[in-house]
Structure 1
Amino acid sequence: MRREKFPAVYIMASGFHGTIYVGVTSDLIGRVWQHRNGAFRGFTDRYGCKRLVWFEAGGDMAGAIAREKQLKNWLRDWKLALIEAENPTWRDLAEDFGFDPLLKTPGADAAEAG
């Protein structure tokens, strides 16, 4: 059975207030799987951006690409505010799609608490 695809802009993070990556896709679940499994060599793999912390779905692909470009031009503080408006704890939203929780690295709880 095929998953329904829909345009989405998303933000992946390495952890709470960590490195963030803005992307666009027509298959959010598939793209999250790719990020989590290191299917892409590059920025998200190098910086461990495996946590889905924000996404916006709907509209068409052209609109999603335009929104992605807009967000990529935003200051980091604006992106953090966008994430925290809907996800103040930076919870991994991928778990809502059935993904297993990410394993915590030693000291991650202390870093996230501070």
Structure 2
Amino acid sequence: MSFKFEKLIIWQDSMEFGEIIFKISLAFPKDENFNLTSQIRRAVDSVALNISEGCILQSNPEFKRFLGYSIRSIAEVVTCLYKAKNRNYIDNVVFEENYKFAYKLMNHIISFRNKLI
């Protein structure tokens, strides 16, 4: 037995991305706990949360709306990654890996959303 959203690759990938970003944020300075650390964690968790919430709705327009929230949350994560890189909390390699993951995930969500009627 499983929920419908658990079968979606976009949900599975967003769950993986959330754990990756969480681990990265553990190394952020303690004085960022209520700022960048909190912001990036909430944004990345929002991606999977909105996919799952939208999926349980019986209306494709509503599901599309929630997928849009997920897309915007990915953009927020990318902005936080830039801030982390600019503040030297992460190096260019970590930034590039996660930037690529975010870009791929965003495009998969957009493609999925475009296939909904």
TM-score w.r.t. structure 2 length? 0.27
TM-score w.r.t. structure 1 length? 0.27
| Structure of larger gyration radius | 2
Greater share of helix: 2
Greater share of strand: 1
